[in-house]
Structure 1
């Protein structure tokens, strides 16, 4: 443990002093305003700029369960988070820190690590917003599994207490120690409650290690007349050659070439050199996730010029963060760069091919590797003990993200060592899960009514 400077001690005292203006117990309330905007209207407004033939897919996915709705309705919760109490200490927010946005992936050294893995909504903002979204997602997921709010609230409380304990630890570490720290698979494995869980985990991680471009080639591509191309599996995977009903294929090929050139320019010189050894072979529109459905998301297949090895890159359209309207910072003029720079600041091991680009029609994109050893937890298959262990891991990981980008000393000073903040957030999570259920019910009725 490093000795704190006098300046750091003053910030810790300022954090403790913030409890007077914003009592930690005040975070437990959720009182929707009487003039709360209809959540269906919020979501419908997002659909206006999405590909119209994919909007029904998005709606169907969100209608499947309350947790799926929660995943796709970050814009609704952003609206609801705006008036909640904060102490005015900013971090680089994940912006969508629910349980399904944590997972494993490959580091630059080709090791599997665990971290946040979705940053479409990242902006600088109050650290409390990410913690609230995580806690609420725990209770929503527990409800989807058929458990009581007592079980879900207990798990949410554990996640927040682990966040607070981890933040206290980071407050006592030097900046370089915080920056270099990672959550390894060994850390994840040690957190599992039983030998049987560790055995299942080892199998899942071995499967994740096989998720690379070579495996994706077998699933997503085919050879026709001696030429490699991406398969057609509409509506979830549609090559450019098959988009003529909705878009001009020649124009889309030109846009892919244009945005690829811009992407390469956004990379460091060594990555530019590496990509010179590959050629673009094909591209396809690919539906991913829940909240992103309907945005312009692609996979691009490249092959090595010398040996023909495959490299799949994922290209996701980037728009303004749903949180942008509620934070004081001006929007980044390039939404793709916002996502990339936010990810680099928060993730301990960002993708080596992470970059951004745009097109002449004003759309912004960010690029990364596709399925690079990605693995995720099967929350729906967890019992309460497994969920409790997993959400604590997520709480620790979120604290690390915030400590990398924000003031761990002040936040830890505010949180303290007791249960007050965690108890309050558990109460909020249960109340907001009920709100999410009401919103989901209204959404399903609206979809049924057309």
Structure 2
């Protein structure tokens, strides 16, 4: 209140203007976490939200999930509610779909550890078979939506938690066996990283059907399908001229010109000369793809049908365009100068670094002024069926995934923006190895216990409609 000017009249200061929108409030919250992260990384004694308990933790979980899905909730997206139903169904789905919640608990941690191009969302189903630059199948990390530069240990920690939860829920295994699977994952990473430190072969290595362990060879065999059968069984109309209409595919045939421009922009940006298998990169049809993904469920996603050389709909190619969003790690990692530009450019950069032999159609374009990432769909694009793994196969699979992650990290100083030798630095950081493995196991057990409590909070809140709308701002 201001001082009186004269007599009894007083001037009342106007209240502060309200925040412009819910997005403004969430942006302020995001910046607050960035300051928290920077402070912890600088050695200040600050308390991250993982130490919250009871109602305070419940409100943190609720607000973080609302914030992470603000656009989808505000648009009253049915797929947003489908996602929340899916997260409610199981702990593994909840873990996969709440990366922002996970990483806010880690804000600023491990600032002393070597930085790599991190995948950001490591778990057993984010490794799989996909096309390489020539359209041939390879195995490796296959989801780059969260990728950014971060301490290498962040990927290991999230991967360890992912393997633990998946082993319990998808594999129906006990904690004692899950602990052994996590150890195999970390040991597989360390063994591969030591090999790259001794002999730099990471740029040339690739898991193919001829050189992979048996558990991955079986995945190659199970994933394979003839392109003609794949196209006609899953996507095309009876005449083969376009996408069929069903509960997953919604044709947008009037949008061909718009997406032809997107394909042309992609070809120009990636330096793609129309390959033999893609004809003239002519767009035949476009559709919206509904109901796909876990973390990305509810984000706009399109499939574009490219006419193949034969022009008989037996060798057509499908390019996927998916709306890009901010990485869950953004502002939470120890400070670094990385800025790839728009979100799809960040994703494209991560894929180019981490997958040396990757899909030539992996890229970034703008559609209607929004940032979209692109990649090729393929008949053999698949991940492993976790329900079918024996305990022995789980251990083998975890070890291979650890090695594939090590290869992705080791490329950070070859193809990325790291200006020192990553491999020997990481080997120094994880020495002595047994202590490092024990630390990761202890981190995992604590994180899983916290995640179980968070999931219980979420399920109860979801049942009461907490995610039907955003936080209300009264002043």
TM-score range, shorter chain: 0.7 to 0.9
Deviations, residues 228-276 of structure 1 (Å, cap 9, x unaligned): 2212222x322226xxxxxxxx6x6664344334323212142489866
Aligned length: 398
Match in the other structure for 1:317: 323
Cα 1:86–1:379 change in 2 (3 A) is farther
Deviation at 1:412, TM superposition (A): 0.5
Of 52, 60, 63, which aligns to 1:38?
60
Q: Which moves more between the two structures, 120-129 or 438-447? A: 438-447
Contact 1:153 / 1:427 at 8 angstroms: preserved in 2?
Answer: no
Of 251, 254, 267, which aligns to 1:264?
267
Deviations, residues 171-220 of structure 1 (Å, cap 9, x unaligned): 1113xx22111223344334x4xxxxx8xx54x52342216475134311
Deviations, residues 79-108 of structure 1 (Å, cap 9, x unaligned): 122243342421001111111100112323
Cα 1:427–1:364 change in 2 (3 A) is same
Contact 2:118 / 2:155 at 8 angstroms: preserved in 1?
Answer: yes
Runs of 5+ consecutive residues of structure 2 not aligned to the other structure: 1-40, 42-47, 414-421, 466-475
Deviations, residues 274-309 of structure 1 (Å, cap 9, x unaligned): 866132122111132101111111111121376244
Contact 2:344 / 2:372 at 8 angstroms: preserved in 1?
Answer: yes
Runs of 5+ consecutive residues of structure 1 not aligned to the other structure: 1-21, 23-29, 193-197, 242-249
- 1:445 equivalenced with 2:470 (yes/no): no
Match in the other structure for 2:221: 206
Higher RCO (C-alpha under 8 Å, 6+ residues apart):
1
State how 1:50-449 maps to structure 2 within 5 Å.
50=72, 52-144=77-169, 145-174=171-200, 177-190=201-214, 192=215, 202=218, 204-210=219-225, 212=227, 215-223=230-238, 228-234=241-247, 236-240=248-252, 255-271=258-274, 277-286=280-289, 287-304=291-308, 307-308=311-312, 309-327=315-333, 328=335, 329-360=337-368, 362-406=369-413, 407-416=422-431, 418-449=433-464
Q: TM-score, normalised by structure 2?
A: 0.77
3-state SS in 2 of match to 1:376: coil
3-state SS in 2 of match to 1:270: coil
Rounded to whole Å, the distance in 2 between the matches of 1:81 and 1:271 is: 44
Contact 1:92 / 1:342 at 8 angstroms: preserved in 2?
Answer: yes
Match in the other structure for 2:24: none
Deviation at 1:153, TM superposition (A): 1.5
Q: TM-score, normalised by structure 1?
A: 0.81
Cα 1:334–1:429 change in 2 (3 A) is same
Contact 2:230 / 2:379 at 8 angstroms: preserved in 1?
Answer: no
Contact 2:114 / 2:429 at 8 angstroms: preserved in 1?
Answer: no
Rounded to whole Å, the distance in 1 between the matches of 2:178 and 2:361 is: 38
3-state SS in 2 of match to 1:312: strand
Rounded to whole Å, the distance in 1 between the matches of 2:278 and 2:321 is: 15
Rounded to whole Å, the distance in 2 between the matches of 1:359 and 1:314 is: 13
Contact 2:351 / 2:362 at 8 angstroms: preserved in 1?
Answer: no
Cα 1:311–1:184 change in 2 (3 A) is closer
Deviation at 1:149, TM superposition (A): 1.9
Rounded to whole Å, the distance in 2 between the matches of 1:264 and 1:74 is: 32
Deviations, residues 291-328 of structure 1 (Å, cap 9, x unaligned): 11111111111213762441111111112211112233
Contact 2:87 / 2:94 at 8 angstroms: preserved in 1?
Answer: yes
3-state SS in 1 of match to 2:372: strand
Rounded to whole Å, the distance in 1 between the matches of 2:101 and 2:156 is: 16
Contact 1:217 / 1:310 at 8 angstroms: preserved in 2?
Answer: no
Larger radius of gyration: 2
Cα 1:262–1:96 change in 2 (3 A) is same
3-state SS in 1 of match to 2:383: coil
Contact 1:91 / 1:402 at 8 angstroms: preserved in 2?
Answer: yes
Cα 1:382–1:365 change in 2 (3 A) is same
How well do the aligned residues superpose, as a CA RMSD in angstroms? 2.6
Deviations, residues 393-448 of structure 1 (Å, cap 9, x unaligned): 11111111111114111111121253110111011112111222222222222222
3-state SS in 1 of match to 2:327: coil
More helix by share: 1
Rounded to whole Å, the distance in 2 between the matches of 1:314 and 1:100 is: 19
Cα 1:396–1:142 change in 2 (3 A) is same
3-state SS in 2 of match to 1:304: coil
